[in-house]
């Protein structure tokens, strides 16, 4: 393991300058355009095309469907504006890992990196890769989750309190083979220089932004449906949306049905919308390769999140213009099924099919594949920089801290990330893991924005080329909102909370074991 360590708690502004100089071995290849494309490309995956079905079933109101995305938009943009100050202060490879380490200590940085590697980043890459395979199957039916090349075994569901573990197939199907090939191809391509990865990112992000914009424009000019407009807007938009309204909610898995208020059901709905807008922070992981990072990182965070959130809200307005919110799960037609019960929850595909027929559904399948490919590239490119930064601190495998001698990319880190992601693809567990870390991810966002307050107090003299807009009011509001969502999930959706918390807590003994081994090696 590397013996290069940083100060565990207190770091001066001059120390940050020294640490930044260590990142000079990277190639500064990401300008404002590439950084913004990385923000947008990492955010836009398959979620925006799917999760509105589940949100609709939860909130049962056109106004609250839009409200859920507006809450997500507010939190995402406030979070990005807050991270901008930290990114400008400490423009180092590793981003959020570095901020937590410097403000709260190395244990908290490690716990974030541990969870990122084990589940957050790799699980998301696996899920996005499988989504590519799923939609490629629209054109090639032999690509399917049930078409096995090597079926090892099926894990039966195991109920543990409010959770259900297992219930997944382990092996190699044609669908997860596509995912594995996507992960391998993009991981290898990203070894050949950050410029190559950035070029792929720019092309695919531009394509999927154009696809979302096209969906909005088609919906505005040719897709408006009289039945949907009457059901969703004409006297029905505010149905079930009052603060005094009551909503049915099942507690846990197989638990009792309870009645909850509007704010509570909106908090539950955030599990879908927040994750569809997540990964905007990934650009901070690549700070060591951003040109003029003290300017471009805050700008790219603000611009990227602003554009994506605007598109997300507009897409949901279009969904409501084309399809009724309510529907029948057994409905024969797209209109009868509505947004709530769109086939396989593919709301955007249903909308495009309703507007343009089968050709529209095919176009949307292509758009989602493009979106997934670009999203996976952004996640692969950026995630490897965190494990590199951890290895430089002696908190990950020593060889991960090495850059490719010619291309100056964290090649070993990319390969380690690739191997674990492929294992998750084969295991079939990534989708469960993603459900389990909703709570934990939000905890790390709360801690990181809390770091903004801590560093303002402990390092008032530090160079801050950009200061968080609305500080301290907006960051404080974010923390309160995020805490409220986490408390609601703890109370009503324990299947989303305790597993993620356990994954984080298991990292504590791993951290002390790793530091003990590092100390033993240093003293040997």
Question: How many CB atoms neighbour CB 124 within 10 A?
Answer: 26
Query: Could you tell me if residue 158 is inside a domain?
Result: no
- Band the pLDDT of 4: cuts 50, 70, 90: very low
Backbone phi, psi, residue 152, to 5°? -80, -55
Helix and strand element counts for the chain (H, E): 21, 6
Query: Could you tell me if residue 166 is inside a domain?
Result: no
- pLDDT at residue 443 above 70? yes
Considering the entire predicted model, what is its pTM?
0.91
- pLDDT at residue 433 above 90? no
- pLDDT at residue 380 above 80? yes
- Band the pLDDT of 7: cuts 50, 70, 90: very low
Give the burial class of 81: count Cβ atoms within 10 A of its Cβ; 0-12 exposed, 13-18 middle, 19 or more buried: buried
Q: What is the pLDDT of residues 217-229, one digit of tens each?
A: 999 888 899 999 9
Q: Where are the alpha helices (DSSP H) in 246-292?
A: 262-276, 282-285
3-state secondary structure of 228: helix
- Give the structural domain span for 195: 13-139+171-523
| The token pair that represents 177 in the structure block | 């083979």
What integer best gives the mean pLDDT of the chain? 89
Residue 64 backbone zone (phi > 0: left; psi -120 to 50: alpha; other: beta): alpha
For the segment 58-75, the average pLDDT, to the nearest whole number, is 96
Q: Judge whether 339 and 74 are in contact, CB under 8 Å.
A: no
Question: How many CB atoms neighbour CB 386 within 10 A?
Answer: 30
- Which of 16, 144, 55 is closest to 462 using CA atoms? 16
Query: Could you tell me if residue 507 is inside a domain?
Result: yes
Q: Judge whether 94 and 401 are in contact, CB under 8 Å.
A: no
Q: Omega before 472 cis (within 30°)?
A: yes
Q: What is the pLDDT of residues 229-254, one digit of tens each?
A: 999 998 899 999 998 999 999 888 77
Q: What is the CATH number of the domain that holds 516?
A: 1.20.1740.10
- pLDDT at residue 1 above 50? no
Q: What is the pLDDT of residues 25-41, one digit of tens each?
A: 788 889 999 999 999 99
- pLDDT at residue 138 above 90? no
Query: Could you tell me if residue 1 is inside a domain?
Result: no
Query: Could you tell me if residue 149 is inside a domain?
Result: no
- pLDDT at residue 430 above 90? no
Q: Judge whether 322 and 219 are in contact, CB under 8 Å.
A: yes
* Residue indicated by tokens 């997934």: 372
How far does the chain reach from its first CA to its final CA, in angstroms?
13
Query: Could you tell me if residue 4 is inside a domain?
Result: no
- Which of 130, 175, 171 is closest to 151 using CA atoms? 171
- pLDDT at residue 2 above 70? no
Per-residue confidence (pLDDT) for residue 344, from 0 to 100: 80
Query: Could you tell me if residue 157 is inside a domain?
Result: no
Q: Based on the structure, what is the number of domains in the chain?
A: 1
Length of the chain: 524
Pairing type for strands 163-165 and 158-160 reads: antiparallel
Distance (Å, whole) CA 79 – CA 96 = 12
- pLDDT at residue 19 above 90? no
Q: DSSP strand E in 110-205: where?
A: 148-155, 158-160, 163-165, 168-173
- The secondary structure element, H or E, covering residue 259 is strand 257-260
Distance (Å, whole) CA 478 – CA 397 = 35
Per-residue confidence (pLDDT) for residue 186, from 0 to 100: 96
């Amino acid at each position: 393991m590397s013996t290069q360590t940083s100060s565990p708690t207190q770091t001066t502004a001059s120390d940050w300058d020294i640490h930044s100089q260590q990142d000079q071995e990277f190639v500064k290849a990401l300008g404002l355009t590439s950084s913004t494309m990385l923000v947008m490309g990492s955010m836009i995956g398959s979620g925006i095309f799917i999760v509105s079905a589940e949100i609709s079933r939860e909130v049962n109101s056109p106004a609250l469907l839009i409200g859920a995305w507006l809450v997500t938009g507010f939190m995402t943009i406030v979070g990005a504006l807050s991270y901008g100050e930290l990114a400008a202060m400490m423009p180092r490879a590793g981003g959020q890992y570095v901020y937590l380490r410097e403000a709260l200590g190395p244990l908290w940085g490690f716990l974030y990196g541990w969870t990122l590697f084990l589940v957050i980043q790799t699980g998301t890459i696996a899920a996005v890769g499988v989504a590519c395979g799923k939609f490629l199957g629209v054109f090639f039916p032999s690509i399917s989750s049930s078409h096995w090349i090597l079926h090892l075994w099926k894990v039966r569901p195991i109920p543990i309190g409010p959770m259900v573990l297992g219930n997944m197939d382990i092996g190699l199907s044609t669908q997860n083979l596509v995912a594995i090939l996507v992960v391998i191809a993009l991981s290898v391509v990203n070894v050949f220089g950050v410029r190559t990865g950035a070029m792929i990112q720019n092309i695919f992000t531009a394509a999927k932004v154009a696809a979302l914009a096209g969906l909005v424009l088609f919906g505005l000019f040719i897709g408006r449906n009289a039945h949907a407009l009457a059901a969703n807007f004409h006297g029905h938009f505010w149905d079930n949306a009052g603060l005094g309204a009551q909503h049915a909610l099942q507690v846990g898995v197989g638990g009792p049905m309870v009645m909850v208020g509007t704010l509570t059901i909106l908090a539950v709905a955030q599990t879908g919308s927040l994750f569809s807008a997540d990964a905007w922070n990934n650009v901070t992981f690549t700070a060591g390769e951003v040109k003029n990072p003290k300017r471009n990182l805050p700008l790219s965070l603000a611009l990227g999140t602003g554009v994506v959130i605007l598109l997300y809200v507009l897409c949901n307005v279009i969904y409501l213009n084309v399809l009724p919110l309510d529907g029948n799960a057994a409905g024969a037609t797209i209109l009868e099924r509505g947004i709530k019960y769109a086939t396989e929850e593919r709301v955007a595909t249903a909308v495009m099919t309703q507007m343009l027929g089968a050709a529209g559904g095919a176009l949307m399948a292509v758009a989602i594949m493009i979106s997934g490919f670009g999203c996976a590239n952004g996640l692969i490119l950026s995630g490897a920089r965190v494990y590199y930064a951890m290895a430089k601190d002696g908190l990950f495998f020593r060889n991960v801290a090495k850059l490719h001698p010619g291309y100056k990319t964290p090649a070993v880190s990319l390969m380690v990330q690739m191997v674990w992601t492929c294992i998750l693809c084969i295991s079939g567990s990534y989708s469960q893991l993603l459900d389990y870390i909703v709570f934990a991810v939000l905890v790390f966002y709360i801690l990181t924005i809390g770091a903004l307050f801590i560093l303002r107090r402990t390092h008032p003299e530090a160079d801050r080329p950009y200061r968080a807009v609305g500080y301290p009011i907006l960051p404080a509001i974010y923390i309160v909102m995020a805490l409220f969502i986490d408390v609601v999930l703890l109370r009503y959706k324990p299947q989303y909370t305790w597993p993620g918390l356990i994954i984080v807590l298991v990292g504590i003994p791993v951290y002390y074991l790793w530091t003990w081994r590092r100390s033993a090696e240093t003293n040997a």
